[in-house]
């Protein structure tokens, strides 16, 4: 089946650190998503492992060498104790293996569930999210950042595929393709409102 793609490049008048801080926080997703989609993060969740990656710039796709992992330690509690406390979920910044659950309304009155996994992260340079459950057959979204004169160049590269065969192709031509374009155009406008434009 056909795989569709979209690429957006935007220059932002801010520092690389500030750009990374904003876009690497899942909590800012709602701020740059069209209101009619009724985007809602369901809960703060992390991957189910009990280990924390200590190596800066960990990339799940890098299998070239050994990675040292250390157990997560919670002060005052016995090891291996299960907790449902959301404060223990690492959610302030993206990291490889992180799962994010949310709901949105692509059509009026129609709510869909979506789970994405952050699969690759190199701090200050890029991260990648991929759909694990949701409305697409495949969704792969790269977020790239690099310093330029006067600010930061941010590049979004998206590849996606719809389910349902021929019906999916028809749906893309009728509204899905335009909706994806509209979502990223809205993001561009909101980012300009938040950060301004490079003169």
- Looking at residue 110, its pLDDT comes to 87
State pTM to two decimals.
Answer: 0.77
Nearest partner of 66 among 54, 81, 84, judged by Cα: 54
Residue 55's pLDDT is what? Answer: 34
Lowest-confidence region among 42-46, 66-70, 123-127, 161-165: 66-70
Residue 108: predicted pLDDT: 81
Span of 100-104, 137-141, 189-193 with lowest mean pLDDT? 100-104
Residues 6+ apart with CB under 8 A from 51: 69, 70, 71, 72
Residues with Cβ within 8 Å of 76's Cβ and at least 6 positions away in sequence, in order, are: none
Both ends of the chain: CA-CA distance in Å? Answer: 42
Domain locations in the chain as residue ranges: 4-52+89-195
Structural tokens at position 137: 């057959």
Q: Is 143 in a helix, a strand, or coil?
A: strand
Q: Which helix (H) or strand (E) holds 191?
A: helix 177-195
Please identify, in words, the CATH class of the domain defined by 4-52+89-195. Answer: alpha beta
Q: How far apart are the C-alpha atoms of 63 and 53, rounded to whole Å?
A: 14
The residue-averaged pLDDT of 111-124 equals: 96
Categorize the per-residue pLDDT at 81 as very low, low, confident or very high, splitting at 50, 70 and 90. Answer: low
By residue count, the chain amounts to: 199
| Cα–Cα distance list, 193 to 13, 93, 176, 197 (Å) | 11, 22, 26, 8
- Predicted confidence at residue 107, as pLDDT, reads 81
Q: Residue 61: how many CA atoms within 13 Å on its side-chain side? A: 11
What confidence score (pLDDT) does residue 78 get? Answer: 56
Whether residue 77 contacts residue 100, with contact meaning beta carbons closer than 8 Å, is answered with no
Looking at residues 156-162, what average pLDDT do you find?
97
Measuring CA to CA, which residue among 127, 149, 152, 150 is closest to residue 140? 127
The per-residue pLDDT for range 166-185, each reduced to its tens digit, is: 998 898 999 999 999 999 99
- CA–CA separation, 14 vs 90, rounded Å? 26
Instruction: Give 60 or 23, the one with higher predicted confidence.
Output: 23
């Amino acid at each position: 089946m056909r795989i569709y793609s979209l690429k957006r490049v935007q220059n932002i008048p801010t520092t690389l650190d500030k750009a990374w801080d904003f876009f690497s926080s899942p909590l800012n997703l709602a701020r740059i998503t069209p209101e009619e989609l009724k985007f809602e993060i369901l809960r703060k969740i992390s991957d189910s492992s009990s280990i924390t990656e200590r190596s800066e710039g960990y990339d799940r796709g890098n299998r070239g060498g050994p990675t040292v992992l250390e157990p997560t330690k919670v002060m005052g509690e016995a090891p291996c104790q299960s907790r449902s406390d959301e404060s223990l979920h690492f959610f302030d910044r993206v990291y490889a293996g992180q799962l994010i659950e949310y709901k949105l309304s692509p059509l009026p009155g129609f709510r869909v569930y979506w789970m994405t996994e952050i699969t690759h992260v190199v701090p200050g340079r890029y991260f990648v999210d991929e759909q694990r459950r949701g409305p697409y057959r495949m969704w792969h979204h790269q977020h790239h950042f690099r310093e330029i004169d006067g600010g930061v160049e941010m590049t979004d590269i998206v590849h996606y595929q719809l389910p349902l065969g021929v019906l999916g192709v028809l749906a893309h031509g009728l509204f899905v393709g335009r909706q994806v374009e509209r979502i990223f155009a809205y993001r561009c406008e909101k980012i300009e409102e938040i950060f301004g434009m490079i003169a």
